[in-house]
Amino acid sequence: MNMELNGMVEMEEKYEMYKTIQKVKDHVANLVMEQLDRIEHMKQELDFIDYTNLKKIIIGIIPGDGIGPEITKHAHMILEFLLEEEIKSGAIELREIEGLTIEERAKVMKAIPDDVLVELKKCHVLLKGPTMTPRKGDKWPNIESANVAMRRYLDLFANVRPVRVPHLGIDWMFFRENTEGAYVLGSKGINVTEDLALDFTAVTKQGSERIIRAGFEYAKKNRIKKVSIVTKANVIKTTDGMFLNIAERIAAEYPDIECDDWYVDIMTAKLIDPARQKQFRVIIAPNLYGDILTDQAGQIQGGVGTAGSANIGKRYAMFEAIHGTADKMIAEGRAKYADPSSIIKAAALLLSHIELNIKAQKLEMALDICSTYEKRLKVTGRSTGVTGEDFAKYIMETLKDPKLEEKWKKYQE
Ligand code: IPM
Ligand code: MG
């Protein structure tokens, strides 16, 4: 009798295990199908859009959550000023896009509500304030990050993040892969049992090639002689290994550019090593390492609030502040003291991306003067500093100065 019972229990356990394995198999099969489908799309993608050929460029502005609406407002004002002529002649339209807020996203349980996505796709380039990413334990449902979703839906595969600290000789351009790695499957992990959770990461040949090539092409175009690749291919052998192999193959096509490779752990150390940090110029990394390194780099530059970020694809491009929604500032009533530098820097990247290089340079110079050199006003995030609005006005004044370039050049001596 007992033996019979034992046998039944054993069978039941086996059946449970079988069901669990089937569940995981189905899950993985779906992921594989999705990724193979994505690869097919990548194979068919067209070349980069040519903005100089467009009758009208539509710039969508997305306020976002938390301090987003506050800082985005200032960047909007600066763009309106810089693009006055183009807006008047109809060559450029600034269009505010509503509905990409955490409240709206939670309502429809989507990272980007469908109607918002339709609006986004009518634009050519986007300027985006930070959007709130729900995480475990907060009051929001577990929806995917709007950033990550937008990068994927609009196929913004290159996350380009410049970091410059002139007095330390730092001039870095990060090319972070933006649509793959741990992120592409980041919200598609599986709780296999109560005791076992699995996450996945994916790297593709097409996805790696396009980001690595973008980094090398940037170096070539700007006569930069050094590119560094970051992986952890000694441990994450399959996916990082593939990324590194492809990088080595592409590097061979650019014999004039010196290419080295670093594991991400030692790279985090070398970025703060005074003897080394000057030598890095273009840094190419898979998604997650690029995410981490660019926050560190932003901090070296003066805080993540000072860094801007470009998300570039062949058809669309989105420019954003590198930091989050700063909910603590909202809770403490400090939104008006939020630093708009990062989103204004993103606006400068946007201008240069649509080939308005002179305007972009002017804005960069004004930002340099206000944030790094002259520093007549300072934002501290609190009432100890000026408000974001005052700082934006300071940038505006500096921009209007007919001697802007002269002034900037003096600081370079
Ligand atoms: C960034 C951010 C995002 C990311 C978050 C908000 C999902 O940290 O843009 O670097 O991890 O990519
Ligand atoms: Mg980040």
- Ligand 1 atom at minimal distance to the Cα of residue 324: 6
| Ligand 1 proximity of 177 Cβ (cutoff 6 Å) | no
| 77 within a domain of the structure (yes/no) | yes
Whole-angstrom CA distances from 196 to 143, 188, 190, 191, 389 are 22, 15, 9, 6, 49
Q: Which residue type occupies 375?
A: K
Distance 400 CA to ligand 1 centre (A): 34
pLDDT value at residue 358: 95
| Ligand 1 proximity of 291 Cβ (cutoff 6 Å) | yes
Range of the domain at 144: 49-156+313-413
* pTM score of the predicted model: 0.86
| 383 within a domain of the structure (yes/no) | yes
- Ligand 1 atom at minimal distance to the Cα of residue 309: 9
Check if the beta carbon of residue 345 is closer than 8 Å to that of residue 310.
Answer: no
| Ligand 1 proximity of 131 Cβ (cutoff 6 Å) | no
Distance 145 CA to ligand 1 centre (A): 8
| Ligand 1 proximity of 320 Cβ (cutoff 6 Å) | no
The residue whose CA is least distant from atom 9 of ligand 1 is 322
| 364 within a domain of the structure (yes/no) | yes
| 369 within a domain of the structure (yes/no) | yes
| 243 within a domain of the structure (yes/no) | no
| Ligand 1 proximity of 187 Cβ (cutoff 6 Å) | no
Which CATH number covers residue 351? 3.40.718.10
pLDDT value at residue 1: 57
The residue whose CA is least distant from atom 10 of ligand 1 is 291
Distance 292 CA to ligand 2 centre (A): 6
Number of domains in the chain: 1
Which residue of 102, 133, 319 sits with most ligand 1 atoms within 8 Å of its CB, as the best mutation to test the pocket?
Answer: 133
| Ligand 1 proximity of 148 Cβ (cutoff 6 Å) | yes
| Ligand 1 proximity of 145 Cβ (cutoff 6 Å) | yes
Distance 304 CA to ligand 2 centre (A): 9
Distance 175 CA to ligand 1 centre (A): 14
| 148 within a domain of the structure (yes/no) | yes
In the chain, which residues have pLDDT < 70? 1
* Tokens 């030692």, residue located: 266
Distance 288 CA to ligand 2 centre (A): 8
- Ligand 1 atom at minimal distance to the Cα of residue 151: 12
| 389 within a domain of the structure (yes/no) | yes
Q: Which of 372, 371, 361 is nearest to 404 (CA)?
A: 361
| Ligand 1 proximity of 147 Cβ (cutoff 6 Å) | yes
Which residue of 291, 292, 309, 342 sits with most ligand 1 atoms within 8 Å of its CB, as the best mutation to test the pocket?
Answer: 291
| 265 within a domain of the structure (yes/no) | no
